Homo-oligomer: A and B are copies of this chain.
Amino acid sequence: MKFDIMRDRLLDGLNDVMKAVSSKTTIPILTGIKIDVSTNGMTLTGSDADITIQTSIPVEEDGEQLIHVTEPGSIVLQAKMFNEIVRKLPTNDVEIEVTDQFQTRIRSGKSDFHLIGLDAAEYPMLPEISPDRQITLPADLLKSVIRETVFAVSTSESRPVLTGVKWQIKEDGLVCVATDSHRLARRKVTLEHLPTEEANVVIPGKSLTELSKILSDSTTPVDIFMTNQQVLFKTSDVIFFSRLLEGNYPDTTRLIPEEYNTNVTINGKSLLQAIDRASLLAREDRNNVVRFSTLADNNIEISSNSPEIGKVEEEIQVVSLEGEELRISFSAKYMMDALKAIDGQEVVIQFTGAMRPFIIRSVHDDAILQLILPVRTY
């Protein structure tokens, strides 16, 4: 293998695939990045066995020569070292040559590196995925869907399936649900083209978070393919694979109350900031619980009390307040997470009683639903 490449483009590609490489892997070859060079261009692959990221750089783009291939081939180079070397090379021209026994020479300007590589034939193969259960979403919408749900996954490994987000495709579109059994986030997306088969998969929250980092904030389409073991997200230059979580995801539909006794419409930002302040004192007791009380004249009060530190009270004028009086306590963190996930100025909060789950949604849009279980404090 021997080729010349523009350093900046190689760095961009490495930047993407490095997100999949973990120093904690127990599979030695996965500490490396696989480089495949053909007459069409270069492919870089990084993986931690759960996530695999592959990116391609063409030989030529918009009339500009990015790679000059002298001899095609493949090699695996130690990821962190290779990335740092490329980042620090003195010029934008990089020559990479594999000589005897996976010995790899990297030259740029007067710098001359020799790295000991690994056999690319030992690198795991990528799974093949059929297009039966394929959907397409714009990159920015996909990022929103992830942002609005992934925070609610469980961080505990006691029920592994809850560390993922359930993605279900049915005739009415895509429904994404995450819950850690104390709160739930649900996002519905209407699809223009439904796939030929229904799908029901649980994608690890960590995979979605990493995917989000490499997606652009544009409307560029992302093709999504699902199988029983893997999901694949494909953009024009990056392919992102993730394994799926096994196990039965709980039925969450019956968690959502059907009747509400207190309905509050409120400015989401004012509420978020008041809870943020109240949580300063709530946090000290480690349970991070704040109290929400309805008052007269369309006011509510957010309060918190920590016997050793002090207390805080704050009134907020709401847009509307209907139904029964209420005093309810809940996790400040869960409420802040939910409010941050909902776009739009005004939110509706619907309560069934001090001991029952309540929901938060935008006044304008039913696509996002956030549900929180209250905390018993008195």
Contact = CB atoms under 8 A, between A and B. Distances in A.
Interface in A73-91: 78, 81, 84-85, 88-90
B314 A111 contact: yes
Contact of A314 (B104, B110, B284, B315): B110
Given A90-B273, A116-B309, A280 B85 contact: yes
B89 A277 contact: yes
Given A81-B280, A88-B276, A276-B88, A311 B111 contact: no
B314 A116 contact: no
A308 interface: yes
Contacts of A150: none
A182 B115 CA distance: 31
A313 B111 CA distance: 6
A53 B273 CA distance: 31
Interface string A288-315: 0000000000000000000011111111
A312 B90 contact: no
Copy tally for this chain in the complex stands at 2
A327 interface: no
Contacts of A281: 81, 113
Given A84-B280, A273-B88, A280-B88, A112 B309 contact: no
Nearest to A270: B90
Given A85-B277, A90-B273, A277-B89, A112 B284 contact: no
A159 interface: no
A274 interface: yes
B110 A316 contact: yes
A114 interface: yes
Given A110-B314, A314-B110, A316-B110, A115 B85 contact: no
Interface string A84-101: 110011100000000000
A277 B110 CA distance: 12
Interface string A44-86: 0000000000000000000000000000000000100100110
A268 to B, nearest CB: 15
Given A85-B277, A113-B311, A114-B312, 13 more contacts: A88-B276, A89-B277, A90-B274, A110-B315, A110-B316, A111-B274, A111-B277, A111-B314, A112-B313, A112-B314, A113-B281, A114-B310, A116-B310
